[in-house]
């Protein structure tokens, strides 16, 4: 242990002398209070340290102790359902120690060391061990089987002894190697290093979110990366919450990075009572929360992103599909900026450090579908919220993020103002995964690609037409073009807009998604025909079936899509009764 002492204090950044044997990014305990910090720069025997806690009253000359290991997280059974701060201190435990307010210098075991888990060994004495060898299974929750796998730091050897099936705490030795090394259910991994895998893979499987505008228009693949940029009040957090609730990942890691405390409380109070439609269990049984809210120390905010993604990678390595919600990456970038400013580094754009794009790239590259060391398939999907100042997407964080993601869900102020949620703009958003996912959707509905192309086409035409309407009014347009406006309206109200309060509408299964579009586009096609045969648009827009289609999203339940097929016939009948050419159905 090297014993240094503080020579300068400048906010959360301190300088310490006598740190000659310390390493970069080693964890240090600073001052008499023993606050946790991390070495971010070394020069001679002077170390620059960022502190993760409030350091009011700290003095020059107080001791600094180097722990000679990088900042690491504890990985093992018991993570699921937990809520941690940015450096993996369990918030409920801290609450028991210091009450409702967080005091500096608190410590708490990240994993409950008294709880016993039922361990089933997968090895026997004499079996070889190496990175990627699974040595046991613990049933962590009803739906999550926790596979204990040796990580990349474990040297190849042979198991000398392995614990028999039974109940153990997470500090109990489960495996002894020939060299006498002991392994428990808990391992540690440095947060800033990506966990190892065998190879990255291309994915053809979507992360089904249950949000129609995402799944149909801008889908994301498992292992993909997406950004949700939007000004304040456009619904970033609401969209993230909705995805965290309903997407078909096995595990959700939700990182509240520099955001509101009440939002974390909302997740904590709401998720336990919600039921996962796939497993029938509480949503909290697949969720891990990292909460470093905006008023908690800024250095811990910087690291919270890494804490979250390391935990996600850990479950990926067991073969799970993990989704990470990072809300918000802009606050993380601002933490970088703040610390960089304290270090008196040369600023690049808007005061952000020049290494911002590198850090963003490193973060998003930790996502992906991989073949794990054990040979299983696991993925980490990253969905990062971006909070551009003034809602202006040309700012550095949004621009650099765009380079490293393949799905861009731009939130639109006008849609949010009209309370059209999710306020994902169909004009500015894009997804580069569409091609990769056609195969999956073909199995749901072979018309998927045609439906989405047609929908996008109508929305695009509507955008052009509404520019004209803005100048001359809708009356100047011929009926065929006004039909485009009408259909676009139906798409917006009856398909894109989705209520997160309506119990039927909040989650929309893929078959229902394509069915709703089929109804709207059938209506459109028949109306087009009818107009060609001389029916006035006024009559068409007055058809009661129109309103019925719009309301279908909240009247038709996910498991009753088959029964809904009758609606198609109703649409055809409605047009037959109009008396002008209602032959045929949807031609696509």
Partner 1 sequence: MRGLEYHGILRADGPIVIAAHRENVGFSELARVRDRTGELRLGRIVDISEQAIAVQLFSENTGISIDESWIEYLEKPLTFRVGDGIVGRIFNGLGDPIDGYPPITSSDLRDINGRPINPSARVYPRDFIQTGISAIDGMNTLIRGQKLPIFSGNGLPHNRLAAQIVRQARVLSGESQFAIVFAGMGIKYDVARFFIDSFEKSGVLSRVVMFLSLADSPSIERLVTPRTALTAAEYLAYEKNMHVLVVMTDMTNYCEALREVSAARNEVPSRKGYPGYLYSDLASLYERAGKIENCEGSITQLPILSMPNDDISHPIPDLTGYITEGQIVLERDLSQRGIYPPIAGLPSLSRLMKDGIGEGMTREDHRDLAAQLFSAYAYVRSVRDLAAIIGEEELSDRDKIYLNFGDRFEREFLAQGEFENRSIEQTLDLGWKMLSILPEAELVRIPPKLIEKYLPRTGNGDPAKE
Site for partner 1 in 528-587 (CB under 8 A): 547, 550-551, 554
Q: By the 8 A CB rule, do 172 and 163 touch?
A: yes
Task: Write down the least CB distance from residue 53 to partner 1, Å.
Answer: 10
The three-state (H, E, C) secondary structure of 308-357, written as one string: HHHHHHHHHCCCCEEEEEEECHHHHHHHHHHHHHHCCCCECHHHCECCHH
Q: With respect to partner 1, which residue has the nearer C-beta, 105 or 585?
A: 105
Residue position matching structure tokens 């339940």 = 557
- Considering only residues 488-507, where is the footprint of partner 1 by CB under 8 A? 493, 501
Residue 358 marked in a binding site: no
Angstrom distance (rounded) from CA 469 to CA 81 = 52
Q: With respect to partner 1, which residue has the nearer C-beta, 9 or 323?
A: 9
Q: By the 8 A CB rule, do 405 and 226 touch?
A: yes
Angstrom distance (rounded) from CA 317 to CA 327 = 24
Q: With respect to partner 1, which residue has the nearer C-beta, 447 or 469?
A: 469
Q: By the 8 A CB rule, do 241 and 401 touch?
A: no
Structure tokens at 513: 């998604």
Structure tokens at 185: 């259910």
Task: Write down the least CB distance from residue 367 to partner 1, Å.
Answer: 25
Residue 581 marked in a binding site: no
Contact pattern for partner 1 over residues 329 through 368, marking x by CB under 8 A: --x--xx-xx--x-----x--xx-----------------
Task: Write down the least CB distance from residue 537 to partner 1, Å.
Answer: 12
Of 164, 161, 162, 137, the closest CA to residue 149 belongs to 137
- Considering only residues 209-238, where is the footprint of partner 1 by CB under 8 A? 231-233
| Cα-to-chain-centroid distance, residue 549 | 32
- Considering only residues 6-45, where is the footprint of partner 1 by CB under 8 A? 7-11, 15
If one asks whether residue 107 binds partner 1 (CB under 8 A), the answer comes out as no
Residue 231 marked in a binding site: yes
If one asks whether residue 527 binds partner 1 (CB under 8 A), the answer comes out as no
- Considering only residues 43-82, where is the footprint of partner 1 by CB under 8 A? 54-61
**Which of residues 200, 260, 402, 539 is near partner 1 by CB under 8 A?**
260
Q: By the 8 A CB rule, do 163 and 174 touch?
A: yes
- Considering only residues 361-420, where is the footprint of partner 1 by CB under 8 A? 387, 389-392, 414, 417-420
DSSP state of 90: B
Span near partner 1 by CB under 8 A; candidates 172-180, 246-254, 373-381, 463-471: 463-471
Residue 233 marked in a binding site: yes
Residue 48 marked in a binding site: no
If one asks whether residue 296 binds partner 1 (CB under 8 A), the answer comes out as yes
**Which of residues 473, 503, 562, 587 is near partner 1 by CB under 8 A?**
473
Residue 256 marked in a binding site: no
Q: With respect to partner 1, which residue has the nearer C-beta, 269 or 533?
A: 269
Angstrom distance (rounded) from CA 351 to CA 334 = 9
- Nearest-5° Cα angle at 383, 557 to 425: 65
Span near partner 1 by CB under 8 A; candidates 5-13, 317-325, 518-526, 529-537: 5-13
Angstrom distance (rounded) from CA 455 to CA 586 = 13
Q: By the 8 A CB rule, do 159 and 122 touch?
A: no
HSE-CB at 324 with a 13 A cutoff on CA atoms is 35
- Considering only residues 160-219, where is the footprint of partner 1 by CB under 8 A? none
What are residue 229's DSSP bridge partners?
386
How many Cβ atoms from other residues are within 10 Å of residue 28's Cβ?
Answer: 27
Annotated binding site for ATP: 230-237
């Amino acid at each position: 242990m090297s014993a240094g002492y503080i020579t300068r204090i400048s906010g959360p950044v301190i300088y310490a002398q006598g740190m000659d044997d310390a390493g970069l990014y080693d964890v240090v305990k600073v001052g008499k209070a023993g606050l946790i910090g991390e070495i971010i720069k070394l020069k001679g025997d002077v170390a620059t340290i960022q502190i993760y806690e409030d350091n009011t009253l700290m003095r020059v000359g107080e001791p600094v102790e180097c722990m000679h290991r990088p900042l690491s997280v504890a990985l093992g059974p018991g993570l699921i359902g937990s809520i941690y701060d940015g450096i993996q201190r369990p918030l409920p435990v801290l609450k028991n120690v210091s009450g409702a307010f967080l005091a500096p210098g608190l410590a708490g075991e990240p994993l409950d060391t008294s709880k016993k888990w039922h361990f089933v060994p997968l090895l026997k004495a004499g079996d070889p061990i190496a990175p990627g060898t699974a040595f046991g299974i613990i049933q962590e929750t009803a739906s999550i089987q926790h596979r204990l796998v040796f990580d990349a730091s474990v040297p190849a050897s042979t198991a000398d002894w392995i614990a028999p099936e039974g109940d153990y705490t997470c500090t109990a030795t489960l495996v002894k190697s020939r060299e006498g090394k002991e392994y428990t259910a808990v391992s540690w991994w440095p947060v800033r290093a990506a966990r190892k895998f065998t190879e990255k893979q291309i994915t053809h499987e979507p992360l089904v979110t249950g949000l129609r505008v995402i799944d149909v228009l801008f889908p994301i693949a498992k292992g993909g990366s997406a950004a949700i940029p939007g000004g304040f009040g456009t619904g970033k957090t609401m969209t993230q919450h909705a995805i965290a609730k309903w997407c078909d990942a096995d595990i959700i890691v939700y990182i509240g990075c520099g955001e509101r405390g009440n939002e974390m409380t909302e997740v904590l109070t709401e998720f336990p009572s919600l039921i996962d439609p796939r497993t029938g269990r509480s949503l909290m049984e697949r969720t891990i929360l990292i909460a470093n809210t905006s008023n908690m120390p800024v250095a811990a905010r910087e690291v919270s992103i890494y804490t979250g993604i390391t935990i996600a990678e850990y479950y990926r390595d067991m073969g799970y599909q993990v989704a990470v919600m990072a809300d918000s990456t802009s606050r993380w970038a601002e933490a970088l900026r703040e610390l960089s400013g304290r270090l008196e580094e040369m600023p690049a754009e808007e005061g952000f450090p020049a290494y911002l794009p590198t850090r963003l790239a490193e973060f998003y590259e930790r996502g992906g579908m991989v073949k794990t060391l054990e040979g299983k398939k696991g993925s980490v999907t990253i969905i990062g919220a971006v909070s551009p100042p003034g809602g202006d997407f040309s700012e550095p964080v949004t621009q650099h993020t765009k380079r490293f993601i393949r799905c861009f869900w731009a939130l639109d102020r006008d849609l949010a103002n009209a309370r059209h949620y999710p306020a994902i703009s169909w004009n500015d958003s894009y997804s580069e995964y569409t091609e990769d996912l056609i195969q999956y959707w073909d199995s749901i509905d072979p018309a998927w690609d045609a439906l989405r192309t047609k929908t996008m086409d109508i929305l695009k035409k509507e955008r052009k037409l509404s520019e004209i309407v803005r100048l001359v009014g809708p009356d100047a347009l011929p009926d065929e073009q006004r039909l485009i406006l009408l259909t676009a309206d139906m798409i917006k109200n009856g398909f894109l807009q989705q209520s997160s309060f309506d119990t039927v509408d909040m989650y929309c299964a893929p078959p229902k998604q394509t069915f709703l579009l089929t109804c709207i586009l059938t209506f459109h096609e028949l109306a087009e025909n009818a107009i060609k045969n001389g029916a006035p648009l006024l009559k068409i827009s007055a058809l009661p079936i129109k309103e019925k289609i719009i309301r279908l999203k909240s009247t038709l339940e996910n498991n009753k899509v088959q029964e809904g097929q009758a609606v198609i016939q109703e649409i055809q009948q409605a047009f037959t009764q109009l008396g002008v050419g209602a032959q045929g159905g949807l031609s696509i």
